[in-house]
A = this chain, B = another copy of it.
Amino acid sequence: MPYIQIDMLEGRSAEQIKKVVKDITEVMVNDANASADAVNIVVRESRKDHIAVGGVLKSEM
């Protein structure tokens, strides 16, 4: 712990995901006193036709 699950729209580059996990881990260390090696992150990318806001799929927006 902490365990962080990131659900987001597919399409980010490998470089972006690499930076996201590095920087979020830093936030948990700096702001919440977590030890870095205890921070587990899973990134789940979803298709536009599997994510909805306001009852409308992203693929319909």
Contact = CB atoms under 8 A, between A and B. Distances in A.
Contacts of A4: 4-7
B1 A40 contact: yes
3 A-B pairs closest in CB distance: A25-B55, A2-B8, A21-B52
Interface of A: 1-9, 12, 14, 16-28, 30-34, 36-46, 49-60
24 contacts: A1-B7, A1-B46, A2-B8, A3-B3, A3-B6, A3-B42, A4-B5, A8-B32, A8-B34, A14-B49, A16-B32, A17-B32, A17-B50, A17-B57, A21-B57, A22-B52, A22-B55, A23-B31, A24-B27, A27-B27, A40-B40, A41-B53, A42-B46, A43-B50
